[in-house]
Structure 1
Amino acid sequence: MRVISVDTKLLQRGLLFYQSRSDKTWGLTDCISFVVMQQQELRDALTSDRHFIQAGYHALMLEI
């Protein structure tokens, strides 16, 4: 596990992603997570948040 701090650049990328998906009910935190996951080439998230499935990721806590 790694903790990633949100700097100005990451916040801006998250905001752009958030604004480009106005048809979704995703929050800014979700969008920042999606940006990081895309950057790190991750597919699995330790979450039960269905927004991750909508974004094309595996929500591991829903698969238990």
Structure 2
Amino acid sequence: MSRAVFVDASAWIAITNRRDDYHFVAQELYRELLAGKTPLFTTTWVAYEALSLIKSRMGLKKTLELWGVLNNQRLVKLVRVSRIMEKAGLKIFFDYQDKTWGVVDCISIATMRLLNCRRAFAFDEHFREAGRQSGLEILP
């Protein structure tokens, strides 16, 4: 999965929400990744986080549109968080006591490690910091 790109909730939100500060950058990168047939994946937990935020900010219609994208296997692989991923993510969460990284971000980093993915598409500063500290390439 070395060519693959993990897509964080912050990127899904930016892609979906025209009012997001990163919308145009996110749209451009998303189109480039799709055009280049770059494998994209995200976890169920990230999907649920993005769906919750989109529903509260933009309503059900946009939420259903995003859910359609997340379930389109030609566009993105939706990875169910396993107990192994959860355990590895919680280890990161508790090991970095001085950080304010969220549990979902830590599980995302652990999932990327377990799937040998080195690149992530994200705008969230906590995710970006955790990713850089883990030696990941953060797009854009």
TM-score, normalised to structure 1, is: 0.74
Per-residue CA shift, 1:35-60, capped at 9, x if unaligned? 01112222221111122332213331
Which structure has the highest helix share of the two? 2
Counterpart code for 2:138: A
1:41-52 residue pairs with structure 2 within 5 A? Answer: 41-52=116-127
Which structure has the highest strand share of the two? 2
**How many pairs are equivalent?**
61
- Is 1:14–1:31's contact at 8 Å kept on the other side of the alignment? yes
Of structures 1 and 2, the larger Rg is shown by 2
Structure having greater relative contact order (Cα 8 Å, sep ≥ 6): 2
Secondary structure at the residue paired with 1:3?
strand
Runs of 4+, deviation exceeding 6 Å: none
TM-align CA RMSD: 1.6
Gaps of at least 5 residues in structure 1 are none
TM-score, normalised to structure 2, is: 0.39
Q: Tell me what 2:137 maps to.
A: 58
Gaps of at least 5 residues in structure 2 are 1-39, 41-76
